[in-house]
Amino acid sequence: MLSVERITLREIRLPLKEPFRISSGLVSERRICLLQLTSSDGVTGWSECVAGEQPNYSDETIDTAWLAIRAWVAPRILKQELEGPEIVHAILERDFRGHRMAKAAVEMGCWELAARVCGRSLSSFLGGTRERIVTGISLGIQASPEALVRRARAALEQGYQKIKLKIAPGADVPYVRAVREALGPQVHLMVDANSAYTLDDAEHLRQLDAFDLLMIEQPLGRDDLVRHAALQRRLKTPLCLDESITDVERAEDMITLQSGRIVNIKPGRVGGFAQSIAIHDLCQRHGIPVWCGGMLESGIGRAHNVALASLPNFSLPGDLSPSARYWERDIVTPEWTMDSDGRVRVPRDAPGMGVEVDLDRVENLTVRREVLG
Ligand code: OSB
Ligand code: MG
């Protein structure tokens, strides 16, 4: 039994070491919503809402998520006798459309809290088996191909096992060519367009087939499956869907329609861990590899992603860079680090997410706070 007595919402501001540009926008400082859940026995669990400041990746933002959590999500969960975190998703879906990132923040917090109450690691609680996660880096759009090559070379030297290049019309083929030529044929390279293209660009995108990419992530509309299927038929390179996979049914549709061959699972995007596991299991049954995406999370969201990525079918490197790639200083101890082979260790000995929140630092960074319950 799990009973959540109180949820403390906080907004912190955390400047990125360097601005991150994707096809639909730029972020220099994260506004991050953190949740601290307290059980009726006084145990504390943490989670992070991945909604951004602007609605340029999904339709949610930190401000809509804050409202949704306060008005509709938290009231369904607070002070209830919950059999376990696996039932939270169904409770949040009943007659309640959308707001997946807001729901995910509470749902994932319930899993973390329950894992701590049971004295088990979040990884093992979710069914994870891996001890280390192979890691890739996601490089934002740069001012020139040369600048991108410099970033990619540095990433390779640090040990990253996969390099993802953000692309957009005007910053694609010559950029990818320059990186492939500079790094050589062995390096695992991929691109992510964040929905910057249309099916009319199919011939243009076909040029990417020349660069032996692991995959092309989400080239077309953020909720599209049919056009991605048409595009996949014209490309040799596998498509990977991110934005389009909002739940397990969309993953089923992707498989049926052959809209892509790989899935990027972000637990925040699909409403939490239960849906993430359902998508993971579905993909495993169909021989579709999955990997864990990132949303420039702090050390708390990263801990949740690392735990999820320890499940067996997360067979491709995740966007799970160490803390120092994003922040001067993270909000957890120990900070997330990566070994020289590009692997992040899964904390499987400690209860819960396996890192401690630096509460003094969080308080210092807090610009808004609200206690629910
Ligand atoms: O599409 O994967 C994406 C960041 C913000 C919004 C969308 C995406 C991303 C990333 C960042 O690629 C990956 C990371 O957290 O390192
Ligand atoms: Mg993406």
Sort 276 into a burial class: Cβ within 10 Å, 0-12 / 13-18 / 19+: buried
Q: Which residue type, as a one-letter code, is found at position 15? A: P
Partners of 35 in beta bridges: 9, 47
Instruction: Check whether 1 has a pLDDT greater than 90.
Output: no
Inter-residue contact 150 to 120 (CB < 8 Å): no
Question: Which chain residues have CB less than 5 Å from ligand 2, an ion?
Answer: 192, 217, 242
CA 271 – CA 111 distance, rounded (Å): 13
Mean pLDDT of 167-183: 98
pLDDT digits (tens, 9 = 90+) for 280-311: 999 999 999 999 999 999 999 999 999 999 99
Is 266 part of the annotated catalytic residue set? yes
| pLDDT value at residue 150 | 98
CA of 79 to the centre of ligand 1 (A): 34
What are the DSSP calls for 294-334, one per residue?
Answer: --S--HHHHHHHHHHHTSTTB-S-BS---GGGT-SS-SEES
> What is the reported pLDDT for 141?
98
Burial of 212 (0-12, 13-18, 19+ CB in 10 A): middle
Q: Are 267 and 108 in contact (CB under 8 A)?
A: yes
The residue behind tokens 């959308």 is 98
Question: In this prediction, what percent of the chain has a pLDDT beyond 90?
Answer: 100
Write the DSSP symbol of residue 13.
E
What is the 293 CA–ligand 2 centroid distance (Å)?
7
Using alpha carbons, select from 179, 228, 176, 229 the residue that is nearest to residue 207. 176
Is any ligand 1 atom within 6 A of the Cβ of residue 319?
yes
pLDDT at residue 144 is higher than 90:
yes
354-367 tens-digit pLDDT? 999 999 999 999 99
Task: Kindly compute the dihedral angle of the four CA atoms of residues 352, 57, 100, 59, in this order, to the nearest 10 degrees.
Answer: 150
pLDDT in tens, 29-69: 999 999 999 999 999 999 999 999 999 999 999 999 999 99
How many angstroms separate the alpha carbon of residue 139 from the centre of ligand 1? Answer: 9
For the chain, the average pLDDT equals 98
**Would the pLDDT of 223 be above 90?**
yes
Mean pLDDT over residues 368-373, rounded? 97
State pTM to two decimals.
Answer: 0.98
Q: What is the DSSP string of 40-63?
A: TTS-EEEEEE---SSTTSSS--HH
- State if residue 138 touches ligand 1 by the CB under 6 angstroms criterion: yes
3-state secondary structure of 183: helix
Each residue of 230-242: pLDDT tens digit? 999 999 999 999 9
Nearest CA to ligand 1 atom 8: 295
- Give the residue, out of 20, 29, 139, 158, with the most ligand 1 atoms within 8 A of its beta carbon, to mutate for a pocket test: 20
Measured distance CA(191)–CA(219) in Å, rounded:
9
